[in-house]
Amino acid sequence: MRTPWTVRLAGIALALWVASGAIAQGRVAQEPKDKDEESSGTDVLTPLLEQRLSGKVSADDVVVDIRWPFEGLYTSTRIYGNGVGIWKREFQIRLPRAEVRRLLKLLVTTRFGSLPHSFGRDEIKEESLKGRIVVSIGPVTKLVSQADGGEQSPALQTIAEQVIAASKKASAHEIGVSSFADGFQKFSVGTLAPEALRLEIRRRVSTVGGEGWLLRANGRRVYTENMEKVGVPGSARVLVLTPKDFAALAQALRDADPATLPQNLYAPEYTDILIQLLNKSRHIQARKFSGMTPESKGEKQAAFDRLLTTLVALHARAEKEGRIVKIPDQTQADAEERERESKEEERERERGPDKGDVPKPSVTPASPGRP
């Protein structure tokens, strides 16, 4: 059964995944709270897109993340403004700058920034979700969902089809990894971009009030959040690592040899780590397990301890040097989407890598009131 601390962490999963790959300034824009407000002309995305299309600002902080039915399969793709993409969560792809520019123009012409939060239903539950599009630009993140039934958005359909089609075309030159070792080797020679790596560590320092911290890294962008007692607002910062610092982090992960680490290890405080390199992932839980001592796992424990020391130091550095950001606004609709994200990742870990895409799964809806 989930503790309040764990529920809160699961609740922010999607927003942090996207925002940590795009936050570059000091706040996260709140979504409009209702359709009347959305139709009043509030559109913070389009001016930011136009700045990047004009060349006045780099488009490297743009992230377009899509999950949508395509050719009979529920398909996912994520495109970064620098042209790097993650196709079906399994392969790195690269789109030409001109193609990225065309897709960004599409977001402007379809007026994505002014669309309501959802189509088909005011509150979209898991069993009725058709797909969703998330666009992040610097400090701004917007999510729009489409239900299976009800009003269908031609704009969302057009965006999803064209971005996925462009990704599929780029997948003719996709790059995958056969193992963690293969992936880290490709990092070292520059074959893989930093965006191919995702890292998450959750640490709870109190079992009573739920205090702890969460660190997530999408490539070189590191997001860290302090979790205060339940009901007390936390604080968050973002730090962008230099290429040299990222190389050092990748080397620390490589030295730990994630594929060989046991799933359960010892730690004096509740510690949960997820390391994901394209479709290779390793989930490690460490705490004071019954009958386990710091010496029980020998060298594997020592390797984990060295990695943990590096990650704790990274959290401390982000706390000291990172830019303060507001914790993303948590509307009910966004919370349900983030819960879906967490469940989808759990299912993918269970079915294992290299199984290919599957049709959109049917899943049990989140309990009413769950954040």
The mean per-residue pLDDT over the stretch 255-274 comes to: 95
Least confidently predicted of 115-129, 192-206, 247-261, 330-344: 330-344
Residue 18 pLDDT: 40
| 139's tokens | 């400090």
Total length of the chain: 371
Which strand (E) or helix (H) includes residue 124?
A: none
What are the two backbone dihedrals, phi and then psi, of residue 147, each rounded to the nearest 5 degrees? -80, 160
The mean per-residue pLDDT over the stretch 141-161 comes to: 93
Q: Which sign, positive or negative, has the C-alpha torsion 361, 367, 369, 370?
A: negative
DSSP 242: P
Residue with tokens 């390391």: 275
pLDDT at 39 over 50: no
| 291 class by beta-carbon count within 10 Å (0-12 exposed, 13-18 middle, 19+ buried) | exposed
pLDDT at 192 over 80: yes
* Among 111, 9, 117, residue whose Cα is nearest residue 50: 111
Kindly indicate the confidence band of residue 187, based on its pLDDT and cuts at 50, 70 and 90: very high
SS3 259: helix
In tens, the pLDDT along 96-119 reads: 999 999 999 999 999 999 999 899
Q: Please, are residues 177 and 280 in contact by the beta-carbon 8 Å criterion?
A: yes
What are the two backbone dihedrals, phi and then psi, of residue 77, each rounded to the nearest 5 degrees? -150, 150
SS3 52: helix
Residue 353 pLDDT: 40
Helices (H), the chain: 4-11, 13-19, 35-38, 45-54, 97-109, 154-170, 180-188, 243-256, 298-321, 332-351
Four-way CATH pick for 180-325: 3.30.1560, 3.30.70, 1.10.10, 2.60.40 = 3.30.1560
Q: Between these two residues, 102 and 1, which has the higher pLDDT value?
A: 102
SS3 59: helix
In tens, the pLDDT along 287-322 reads: 999 999 999 999 999 999 999 999 999 999 999 998
- Number of CB atoms found within 10 A of residue 342's CB: 17
Q: Please, are residues 29 and 231 in contact by the beta-carbon 8 Å criterion?
A: no
Q: Where are the domains of the chain?
A: 16-178, 180-325
Cα–chain-centroid distance for residue 181?
23
Average pLDDT, the chain: 79
Q: Between these two residues, 17 and 303, which has the higher pLDDT value?
A: 303
Q: In whole angstroms, what is the distance from residue 307 CA to residue 294 CA? A: 15
Largest CA distance in the chain: 62
CA dihedral defined by 65, 126, 6, 308, rounded to 10 degrees?
-30
Spatial CB neighbours of 170, under 8 Å, sequence gap ≥ 6: 85, 87, 93, 94, 95, 99
Q: Please, are residues 110 and 33 in contact by the beta-carbon 8 Å criterion?
A: no
Kindly indicate the confidence band of residue 167, based on its pLDDT and cuts at 50, 70 and 90: very high
Residue 351 pLDDT: 46
